[in-house]
Each structure stands twice: as structure tokens, then as C-alpha cells.
Structure 1
Amino acid sequence: MTSGLTIGGRKRRGRLYRWSWCLAVIVVALAGCSLTTTAYRYADRIVLWKLDHYFSLNRDQRQDVAQRLTPLLEKHRHEALPQYETFLQEIRQRVERGLTGSDIDWAYTTYDRLRADLFERLVADTGVFLASVDTKQVRVFESTLQKDTIQAARVVQISTPERLNKRVEATLDLVKDWLGPLTKGQKSQIREWSLALPDVEPMWVAYQQQRRQELVTLLHQPRTPERIARELRAMFVYHDQTAPQAYQSAVSQMRENAKAMALAIDRGVTPEQRRHAVSKLQRLIDQVHDLQAG
């Protein structure tokens, strides 16, 4: 089922989007809005608010960021949103006829391409902004990130069984959201499959911490907009080439296991559940289409 494209990782994906928001904030972005109408329409205000939270902006910076956001968001709406709509339309068609392994591989590949495209749109303006932050603002940023790091670390401090059980409940909630009510048998199978997925949470938290530290280190050094853009591109656009091998292996393993789980769920859905998922996808497509009108 389409929900299986992110199955077993709702909590992680939620944190991924929040960290993407942090990055998007740093790179003056939209990542994390999940394409919700309200978040997208007020993205400029949200980005400014988050930037101020992480850096305590001065008046000139606030004005410069606001001016840069207008054309950036306009271009994104006209160029990127149609791609998102097409992506969702193709997902809907594949879900309607039943998923195959190649469908999920395609979804992973397309997601990676759209993600890279999003961050590529942001790095140049981000370089200009980050080149403008002073020593005091770097300290504010470092302190705020440290609070985020402490909060993330609490997630992996709980016992593995408790963490996995939380993931099971998140997975069940996600599948129910996409399929509607689940049978007792479906719940039991999904619980079993979710527990069997690899526990990559500690690896993900460690990776977050590494990237945060790289960013802080960059800001403590002499910097130009061009150098910052180059470093951000390496960290976030081409992250698959610069991430630790252990992390890349963990992500690959999780994707393969999630793929098998998604296919198993899809084989067991009822016609009514499939219609529920297709209708939900169509509503999302309609939202994305409406956003393109401004």
C-alpha cells in the first residue's frame, strides 16, 4: 500500500522532516511543510520565525531573507509543485492497480530526486544568509542545536523494546490513516512486520549529530557565500556521497525491509481499503494542484 512507502518509519520520518525544517530554515527552505496548504501558504512567515529562533535575526537579515523568499517560493510553486503533483498522480495509479517492487523502487528514486532538487534550489541563498551571521548568532545557533541534540538523544536512551513498540503504534496509526479501519489479523501482521524492521534510530540520531556539528564547525570558520553553498551542497544535496558508510548501509537495509513490508500489506488490503487510500491520495493531489494557483 502507498503507506508502506514510509512504513515503519513514521516517527523517524517525522523527525527527518523536522530536521529538514531545521536545515530548510538554515537554507531558507520549505522542507517539512509536508505540502499542507496552510504551511505552504505561510512558508515565508514560518521560515522567518524559525530562522529567528535559531539565529536571533537582526533587522537587516530579516529584510534580506524576506526579499529572497518571495522569488524563491514563487519559483518553487511554479516549477516544483507540478512535479509533486505528477509524482502523487503516478503513485495513485500504481496504488489503484496494486503495488509491485519496481513501484516502490521508483518511489524511492523519485523522492530522492525531488529532495535533492529542493535543497539545490536553496543552497545559494542560504550561503548568502549564513555568511552574514556574526559570532554571537553562531553561539545562539550552537546553543539551540544543543537543545535539539539533547532531546533527540532521549529517544535512543529508552530501552530497545520500548522504542520498537512505539514504532509499532506509529506504524499502525499510519496504515490506519491511509487504509481506514484494520482487521484484527491485519493489525497482528503489521505489528509483527514492524517489530522485524531494523532498529536504525540510534544510527539516525548519530547522523543528525554529525551533520549538526559539521554545520557549526563551518560557521566558526572564515566563510564566503560560495564556500558555504559548496559545503551545504555536499552535506545535503549529495548527502548519499558524504554520509558515513554505516549510515548509508542502514538506510539501504531499512528501505529494503520496508519495501517487503509494503508489498505484504498491499497484498492483504480489501477493495474498500484500496479505495480509501486512492481517495486520500486524490485529496492530496487536489491540495497540491490548488497551491499552484497561489
Structure 2
Amino acid sequence: MTHLWRKKTRVWLAGLACLLLVGCATRVIYYWLDSAIVWQLDDYFSLDRDQKTLLDTEVKGLMAWHRQHELPIYARDLDALAKAVASPMTPAQVTLHLDRTQASLARTLENAIPRTVRLARTLTDAQVARFMADRVKRQQERQHDFLTESKIGMQQEFQDKLRERLVFWIGKVKPAQEPLIAQWAEWQYEMMPPWLEFQGAWTRELDRLMKQRQSPDFGKELTRLLQQGDGLMDGRFTGYTDQSRQRTIQWLSALSQSMDLSQRAHLYTLLKEYAEDFETMTRSR
């Protein structure tokens, strides 16, 4: 059931990403998230009436908690980040703001896990089998794509996606920033094999847990998998997680150092607008 909430969290985070792309529609999209989560998971699992009622209750509970406890923190952290990006950021500064983001996600996960356990215990074997079969199929497709696509083609795709995101966040990308984009794409390609291997190990552990979802230890084991999943297989993936984090910190710092005044102003304005949106939502909840 781990990936049920990971899927739910992915929908929720996708919605939050949308918030950062629509300006004045922020409140509309945020208040729509609970319905979007329920609709998608209901469609995916073909829930019965009692399960739909439980899911609706749990999602509304999560969103109510998030509005009360996390929105004020979002507003504060985004305002602080806006001030920080106005000047070149050191790796230590990037680490501080990354830690704040991870702490927020950890708090959300902590609130979501008990809700996950309650819903997981209601799933039938057929619902779980459908869920797992779809996950395995998606992994096989990703594995096939990696094995059949050329390295150059995949790296170009990574670069195009990153460049598109950067245009939104900082405006026009400068020629001097192209090497950073190429470096990021190279890292993404390099990490694909261990990431695919990890996804396979994680799914096998999830499948094992789901067969024991009525066990008294299910909640504890689910928490372990969600919070410390990279410790699977004697911790062989933990090093990749740490390496990816350090690379991300260094890369973001380098990007910050490379930005000109117009790019800083662009990013500062976006972050301040989102901070103000969340602050308004906090006052009006």
C-alpha cells in the first residue's frame, strides 16, 4: 500500500507544482486537490462505496491538516527563499532550503502513513494485484525505453525538459548556462541503471508487505519502506541517494552563481508571489 500513498502524494505534489505555474489560480487549484486525489485513486483501484467514503474522509483530513499546519510554513519558507535567490547562493544556503523542503515532505508523509494503513487494510487481493501489475508493467516499460533508446537521445530529452523548466523559473537561459544543463542530463543518464534496479527492489518489498497488510506490524513496516526505502538490499542504494543529493546541492549553487540580474529578478518575483498566495490562503482558511 506504500505506493498507494506515493501515488496519492505524486498527484498531490503534481497539483502543488501546478500551483507554481498559474499565479492567481493558486487557491482554486489547492482547494481542488482533495477531489483530484480521490477521483484518480478511485479510478485506479475501482473502490467500492465504503472504500470511497474512507478515502474521501482520509484525504479531506490530510488536506485540512496541511492547510492548518503546512501552509504557514510554505509561506514563510518561500519568502525566505525569495530573499536568498536575490544573491548568488552558496552550497550551504542551498542545503538549508532543501532541508526545509524535505522536512515539509517528511511531515506530510508522517501524517499520511496512518491514513494509508487504514485504507490499505480494506483493499481486496484483486485490487492489490491490479495495482502491482500496473506498477510492474510501468517499470518494464521504463527498463525497455532505457535499453532501446540511444544515450544521445535520452540526454537530449533530459536537456529539453530541464531547459523548459528553467525558462519558466528564471526566464531565458543564457549560453553560459548550457554546460550546466548538459551536466545535469549526464548525471540523470548515469543514475538511471541504479535507479531502475532500486525501483525493482522497492516494488518486490512492497509486494511482500501488501501480502501482509492485515499484520499488526504492517504500519511499522510500511513506514520503514516509505521513509528509509533506499536502505533496501543492505543499503546499497543509500550511496546513490547521498550522491544525488550532493550533486543537486552543488548544481543548484552553480546555477545560482551563473544567474544574471534579470534572471534573479524573474525568480524572486515568482517566489514572492507564491509566498503571498500561501499567506493569503493561511489567513482565509
Would the aligned equivalents of 1:27 and 1:123 in 2 still touch at CA under 8 Å? Answer: no
What is the aligned partner in structure 1 of residue 207 from structure 2?
Answer: 216
% identical equivalent positions = 18
- Cα deviations across residues 213-265 of structure 1 (Å, max 9, x unaligned)? 322222223514x5332122101134455576332212222232233332222
Question: Of the candidates 192, 197, 204, which is equivalent to residue 201 of structure 1?
Answer: 192
1:71 equivalent to 2:61? Answer yes
Question: Of the candidates 93, 97, 111, which is equivalent to residue 101 of structure 2?
Answer: 111
Task: Please list, as runs of the form range in 1=range in 2, the aligned pairs for 1:179-258 lying within 5 A after superposition.
Answer: 179-187=170-178, 189-197=179-187, 199-221=190-212, 223-224=214-215, 226-239=216-229, 241-242=231-232, 245-258=235-248
Question: Of the candidates 258, 265, 273, which is equivalent to residue 275 of structure 1?
Answer: 265
After the TM superposition, list the runs of 4 or more consecutive aligned residues in structure 1 that deviate by more than 6 angstroms.
none
Would the aligned equivalents of 2:120 and 2:213 in 1 still touch at CA under 8 Å? Answer: no
State the Cα distance separating 1:22 from its structure 2 match: 5.0
Paired AA for residue 75 in structure 2: E
1:30 equivalent to 2:2? Answer no
Which stretches in structure 1 are left out of the alignment for 5+ residues? 1-19
- Cα deviations across residues 43-65 of structure 1 (Å, max 9, x unaligned)? 22222222223321001110122
CA distance in 2, matches of 1:221, 1:183: 53
> Measured at CA, do residues 26 and 242 of structure 1 come closer, stay the same or move farther in structure 2, by a change above 3 Å?
farther
CA distance in 1, matches of 2:180, 2:117: 44
Counterpart of 1:121 in 2: which secondary structure? helix
Normalising by structure 2, report the TM-score: 0.84
> Measured at CA, do residues 207 and 87 of structure 1 come closer, stay the same or move farther in structure 2, by a change above 3 Å?
farther
CA distance in 2, matches of 1:22, 1:61: 13
Task: Please list, as runs of the form range in 1=range in 2, the aligned pairs for 1:6-17 lying within 5 A after superposition.
Answer: none
CA distance in 2, matches of 1:154, 1:287: 42
Would the aligned equivalents of 1:92 and 1:281 in 2 still touch at CA under 8 Å? Answer: yes
- Cα deviations across residues 50-108 of structure 1 (Å, max 9, x unaligned)? 22233210011101221232232111111012122222122111111321111111123
- Cα deviations across residues 23-52 of structure 1 (Å, max 9, x unaligned)? 344689834432523543222222222222
Which stretches in structure 2 are left out of the alignment for 5+ residues? 20-25
CA distance in 2, matches of 1:260, 1:204: 20
Counterpart of 1:253 in 2: which secondary structure? helix
CA distance in 2, matches of 1:39, 1:202: 36
1:167 equivalent to 2:158? Answer yes
In terms of fraction of residues, the more helix-rich structure is 2
- Cα deviations across residues 162-193 of structure 1 (Å, max 9, x unaligned)? 22222222222222222111233333x33443
State the Cα distance separating 1:268 from its structure 2 match: 2.3
> Measured at CA, do residues 195 and 128 of structure 1 come closer, stay the same or move farther in structure 2, by a change above 3 Å?
closer
Would the aligned equivalents of 1:23 and 1:29 in 2 still touch at CA under 8 Å? Answer: no
> Measured at CA, do residues 239 and 222 of structure 1 come closer, stay the same or move farther in structure 2, by a change above 3 Å?
closer
Normalising by structure 1, report the TM-score: 0.81
The count of aligned residue pairs is 273
> Measured at CA, do residues 186 and 140 of structure 1 come closer, stay the same or move farther in structure 2, by a change above 3 Å?
closer
